[in-house]
Structure 1
Amino acid sequence: MAHYNTILSQITSLINRHVFDDHAKPHHSGQKFRSYNRWSQFMAMLIGQLSSRKSLRDITDNLKAQKKRLYHLGMKPTSKATLARVNKKQPASLYETVFSDLLKKCQLVTPGHKFSFKNKLYLLDTTTIDLCLAVFPWAEFRKRKDAVKLHMGIDADGYLPTFMDMTDGKVHEINWAKETLKLPKGSFAVFDRGFTDYGWYSSLMKDGIFFVTRLKSNADAEYLFKRAGRKSPGVTNDQPIKLKNIKDPLRLVAYTDLETGQEYRFVTNAHHLKAAEIAAIYKERWQIEQFFKWIKQNLKIKTFLGTSKNAVLTQVWIALCVYLLVAYLNFKAKLGASMQQILRVLQLNLFQRRALADLFRPPDKQQPVSPQLLLWGKL
């Protein structure tokens, strides 16, 4: 009979332990560990995400129950007090680095986006997570309520989270974009009206970045001549405009949804694309809303297992690492299943000793398993 490691071990084989330990050295605070390490912390929190545990006690009790199945992971024994202390004090920046490594691997196997241009397309948005004022005093938001905001950009190639910053609830998305966000030259950015700032638009144009957003109804705009030629179905207007304090003309595209009859007015500096494609690019922004919905429903991202900012960041970054692991499996194996279906199957079989490929093998044994999936264990 063939011997298999647990499904958990096969999933986490994508993370090189030696590379992880090299990253851990510069991301350490205080005295050296004697009987614990960052790898054990990472695996404990990752198991907590994958198995939907509700507390640190729940995580550590689960680890004790599965002790015989965890030895091959190289984990140290984990107590609730130790895990809480490490989450609070050891820099969460380590897991941002691990996330970046996983992202690079995922980008090698992702499909491209569906538009005519080859430039990168980033979808930008912010989501707010409410917190208890008494427990999270550092996360200022309103007088009687605290919150954190996750400012994110996802890559339309596979809808992978690419940029993430966590701030307290008072930080507006446009301030995050102006002060922190760095996009590569030639890329496209899509965002809603919450990012409206003409000075930022000018900065994007100066940096060679294209953008698509909705125009506010009270925009200070000068409407120039209309573009000649036939318009695509749904496109009701396509003309250059000038916005206050922006030197170069921008482009207004008005589009009416053929199903609802609602009109949308987009502003962009992408003069070279068809008007219908501009409308389709903005519609793609809905995918980041779906991303936020998915991580809130399927990962532990709305309630936190620690109260310090570092503990919250640790949990968020590890949750995003879990998302990338599931996404990589989906892209590499070409399973044809939804991300939620894949995660549910993994959760139910996390500590089983069987081939990862068998979890997704068709009921008809005559049907071959995808060769890409069989290669997973060799990475």
Structure 2
Amino acid sequence: MNLGKTLFAQLMEFVPWTSFARIVAQYGGDSRVRSLGCTEQFRAMAFAQLTYRESLRDIETCLLANQTKLYGMGFRSPVKRSTLADANEGRDWRIWADLAALLIRRARKLYCNDSFSVDLDNTVYALDATTIDLCLSLFPWAPFRSTKAAVKLHTLLDLRGNIPAFIHISDGKMGDVNVLDMLPIEAGAFYVMDRGYLDFSRLFALHQAGAFFVTRAKRGMNAHRVYSMPTDRTTGIICDQRIALNGFYISQDYPEQLRRIRFKDPESGKTLVFLTNNTVLPALTIAALYKSRWQVELFFKWIKQHLRIKAFLGTSENAVKTQIWIAVCTYVLIAIVKKRLKLSHSLYEILQILSLTMFETTPINQLLPNPSTNSEPPISPIQGVLL
């Protein structure tokens, strides 16, 4: 029963605190700490994400205004902005990265049977990166251009549930394609990416690991046709070919044949050329897989609009990574709550309602009842970005 518990306290019950304590002990997060341990630090930063707090003073003032409820929310004493700032600066950001990885594993188990736009049993990942602009004078550790700093959020998104399966945070100068060297490769899975990741030696390593990739060809690619498969042009498939790369070095990077599909999108009229190492799926399915890659773009728009990862509460590398990883934890935590409580609302709707009701004591499933059949269908977490 959740009688008397604030909504914030109810949300925090979905955090695996026992496992989190082991993570904190591994990095010595609470070593020589007298106030605001890692547990309270996470609660304060998650509260900031859920209620759209913009500064440390904002967090402190909002929590002090409800001081009588702080103990029930998991705070042993009032949160001071200086103490929270020191915690964000000094505590290892890998604590929050490991907590995010733990929550991601749990969320992916909950969403593993969800369907998406392509009828396929294999796991499908979309890979992309987004840039978060920073001020060079305040964040000199994250160079991007001569007058600008930035961090990049490299994300591998599991399209069943739109849960990030892998995240790497780098400075703005890191090339997107380099993240292929860091990915945990899953045999039999599909990795869908744009042509910025077209590196044949890395793609061949992915092929040798037993995974499939779908990407776009660059103009002027040096290759020759080996043979063509019959196609029905009325479906938009112009050609379905097996090709081999020309040139001494490039043919060594990828010594086997590739599949090249030329597709004319009936909606936009654009002609796209796809490359893949999968020779079994129909050409239209390959085109549909690449189209599903857009979900990762919408994921980036969603988190930038609805989580606090554009205005930072600290300027050090550790503080920035701490805030981003806790934002990821918050996103995944809401996704877990949505699935565990079988809520039909979108993540956007859940966040909007919770942001105004954190101190209320209504049970979550009563605050967020299933909408009536006469109401409009709920907006999906991705569609909410476009409204």
When the two structures are superposed, what TM-score results if normalisation uses the length of structure 2? 0.90
Do 2:343 and 2:365's aligned partners in 1 also have CA atoms closer than 8 Å? no
Which residue number in structure 2 is paired with residue 195 of structure 1? 197
1:115 lines up with 2:118 in the alignment:
yes
Q: C-alpha separation between the residues in 2 aligned to 1:252 and 1:101?
A: 38
Q: Which 10-residue stretch deviates more, 225-234 or 142-151?
A: 225-234
Q: Which 10-residue stretch deviates more, 78-87 or 279-288?
A: 78-87
Q: C-alpha separation between the residues in 2 aligned to 1:214 and 1:136?
A: 35
Which residue number in structure 2 is paired with residue 351 of structure 1? 359
1:318 to 301, 315, 326: 326
Letter matched to residue 82 of structure 1: T
Cα drift, residue 362 of structure 1: 5.1
Q: C-alpha separation between the residues in 1 aligned to 2:85 and 2:269?
A: 53
Q: C-alpha separation between the residues in 1 aligned to 2:128 and 2:29?
A: 32
User: Can you list the C-alpha shifts for 1:300-334, whole angstroms capped at 9, x where unaligned?
Assistant: 01121111111111101110111112212333344
Identity over aligned residues, as a percent? 38
Which residue number in structure 1 is paired with residue 242 of structure 2? 240
Letter matched to residue 331 of structure 2: Y
User: Can you list the C-alpha shifts for 1:112-139, whole angstroms capped at 9, x where unaligned?
Assistant: 4443432211100000111101000000
Cα drift, residue 31 of structure 1: 4.5
Distance change >3 Å, CA 351–CA 152, structure 1 → 2: same
Cα drift, residue 86 of structure 1: 0.9
Cα drift, residue 348 of structure 1: 1.2
User: Can you list the C-alpha shifts for 1:253-298, whole angstroms capped at 9, x where unaligned?
Assistant: 1111112211111000010100000000000000000000000000
Letter matched to residue 109 of structure 1: L
Distance change >3 Å, CA 231–CA 336, structure 1 → 2: farther
Which residue number in structure 2 is paired with residue 57 of structure 1? 57
User: Can you list the C-alpha shifts for 1:215-239, whole angstroms capped at 9, x where unaligned?
Assistant: 0112111122111354671111101
Do 2:231 and 2:240's aligned partners in 1 also have CA atoms closer than 8 Å? no
Which residue number in structure 2 is paired with residue 206 of structure 1? 208
Letter matched to residue 152 of structure 1: T
User: Can you list the C-alpha shifts for 1:331-373, whole angstroms capped at 9, x where unaligned?
Assistant: 33443332211110111111101111111225779xxxxxxxx
User: Can you list the C-alpha shifts for 1:39-82, whole angstroms capped at 9, x where unaligned?
Assistant: 01100000000000000111111111122222123323321111
Do 2:261 and 2:274's aligned partners in 1 also have CA atoms closer than 8 Å? yes
- Secondary structure of 1:241's aligned partner: strand
After superposition, residues 30-179 of structure 1 pair within 5 angstroms as 31-77=31-77, 78-110=79-111, 111-178=114-181
Q: C-alpha separation between the residues in 1 aligned to 2:371 and 2:171?
A: 49
Do 2:345 and 2:370's aligned partners in 1 also have CA atoms closer than 8 Å? no
Q: C-alpha separation between the residues in 1 aligned to 2:158 and 2:65?
A: 39
Distance change >3 Å, CA 2–CA 228, structure 1 → 2: closer
Q: C-alpha separation between the residues in 2 aligned to 1:140 and 1:9?
A: 39
Q: C-alpha separation between the residues in 1 aligned to 2:317 and 2:174?
A: 15
- Secondary structure of 2:14's aligned partner: coil
Cα drift, residue 247 of structure 1: 1.1
Which residue number in structure 1 is paired with residue 258 of structure 2? 250
Do 2:30 and 2:37's aligned partners in 1 also have CA atoms closer than 8 Å? no
Q: Which 10-residue stretch deviates more, 93-102 or 146-155?
A: 93-102
1:18 lines up with 2:12 in the alignment:
no
Which residue number in structure 2 is paired with residue 284 of structure 1? 292
Q: Which 10-residue stretch deviates more, 263-272 or 230-239?
A: 230-239
Cα drift, residue 176 of structure 1: 2.2
* Structure 1: stretches of 5+ with no match in the other structure: 366-379
Q: C-alpha separation between the residues in 2 aligned to 1:31 and 1:355?
A: 35
Do 1:37 and 1:76's aligned partners in 2 also have CA atoms closer than 8 Å? no
Distance change >3 Å, CA 30–CA 11, structure 1 → 2: closer
Q: Which 10-residue stretch deviates more, 253-262 or 276-285?
A: 253-262
Task: Give aligned pairs, total.
Answer: 364
Q: C-alpha separation between the residues in 1 aligned to 2:210 and 2:369?
A: 47
User: Can you list the C-alpha shifts for 1:167-221, whole angstroms capped at 9, x where unaligned?
Assistant: 111000111222x222212211000011111111111111111000010112111
Letter matched to residue 40 of structure 2: S
Do 1:232 and 1:275's aligned partners in 2 also have CA atoms closer than 8 Å? no
Cα drift, residue 30 of structure 1: 8.6
Do 1:29 and 1:89's aligned partners in 2 also have CA atoms closer than 8 Å? no
Do 1:130 and 1:148's aligned partners in 2 also have CA atoms closer than 8 Å? yes
Distance change >3 Å, CA 341–CA 321, structure 1 → 2: same
Do 2:231 and 2:238's aligned partners in 1 also have CA atoms closer than 8 Å? no
Q: C-alpha separation between the residues in 2 aligned to 1:108 and 1:294?
A: 22
Cα drift, residue 18 of structure 1: 2.7
Q: CA RMSD in A?
A: 1.9
Q: C-alpha separation between the residues in 1 aligned to 2:131 and 2:141?
A: 15
